[in-house]
A and B are shown apart, each in its own frame.
With several copies, the nearest count.
Chain A
Amino acid sequence: MKLIVAIVKPFKVDEVKTALLELGLQGMTVSEAQGFGRQRGHSEVYRGKEYTIDFVPKSRIEVLVDDPDVPRVVDTLMEHARTGQIGDGKVWVLPLDAVYRVRTGEAGSDAL
Chain B
Amino acid sequence: MPKIDTGDTAWVLVASALVLFMTPGLAMFYGGMVRSKNMLAMLMQNFFAMGIVTVLWVLFGYSLAFGGAGNAGLIGNFDFVGLKDLAHAVSGSVPSLAFVAFQLTFAVITPALITGAIADRMRWAAWVGFITLWSILVYLPVAHWVFAGGWLAERGALDFAGGTVVHVNAGAGGLALVFLLGKRRGWPKEPMPPHSLAWTLMGTGILWFGWFGFNAGSALAANGVAAQAFMNTFVAPAAAMLGWLIVERLKDGHATTLGAASGAVAGLVAITPCAGFVGSLAAVVIGAVTGAVCYLAIGLKFRFGYDDALDVVAVHLVGGILGSILLGLFADASVNAAGKDGVFFGGGWGLFGEQVLAVAVVFAFSFIVSGVIGLALKAVLPKGIRVTEEEEHTGLDLTQHAESAYAFDRA
Give me the interface of A with B, judged by CB distance under 8 Å.
10-11, 32, 42-51, 53, 57
Contact = CB atoms under 8 A, between A and B. Distances in A.
A45 B256 CA distance: 8
A73 B295 CA distance: 45
Nearest to B190: A14
Given A11-B393, A32-B410, A57-B411, A48 B251 contact: yes
A46 B398 contact: no
B302 to A, nearest CB: 8
B159 interface: no
B298 A44 contact: no
Contact of A51 (B191, B254, B298): B191
Contacts of B305: none
A42 B404 CA distance: 11
B353 interface: no
Secondary structure at chain A's binding surface: helix, strand, loop or mixed? strand
Contacts of B188: 49
Contacts of B251: 48
Contacts of B262: 47
Interface of B: 188, 191, 193-194, 248, 251-254, 256, 258-259, 262, 295, 298-299, 302, 311, 393-394, 398, 402-404, 410-411
A44 B403 contact: yes
Contacts of B403: 44-46
Given A11-B393, A42-B394, A51-B191, 4 more contacts: A44-B402, A47-B295, A48-B299, A50-B252
Contacts of A11: 393, 411
Contact of B404 (A10, A32, A44, A49): A44
A34 to B, nearest CB: 9
A44 B193 contact: yes
Given A10-B410, A42-B398, A47 B298 contact: yes
B193 A51 contact: yes
With a 10 A CB-CB cut-off, give which of B251, B394, B403, B411 has the most chain A CB atoms. B411
Nearest to A85: B390
Contacts of B252: 45, 48, 50
Given A11-B393, A51-B191, A51-B193, A46 B258 contact: yes
Given A10-B410, A10-B411, A11-B393, A46 B298 contact: no
Q: Would you list the 9 A-B pairs with minimal beta carbon distance, nearest first?
A: A51-B191, A57-B410, A11-B411, A45-B402, A45-B252, A10-B411, A44-B402, A47-B298, A48-B298
Nearest to A49: B188
A1 to B, nearest CB: 29
Given A10-B410, A10-B411, A47 B311 contact: yes
Nearest to A10: B411
B5 to A, nearest CB: 44
Contacts of B256: 45-46
Contacts of B295: 47-48
25 contacts: A10-B410, A42-B394, A42-B398, A43-B402, A44-B193, A44-B402, A44-B403, A44-B404, A45-B252, A45-B253, A45-B256, A45-B402, A46-B193, A46-B194, A46-B258, A46-B403, A47-B311, A48-B248, A48-B251, A48-B295, A48-B298, A49-B302, A53-B191, A57-B410, A57-B411
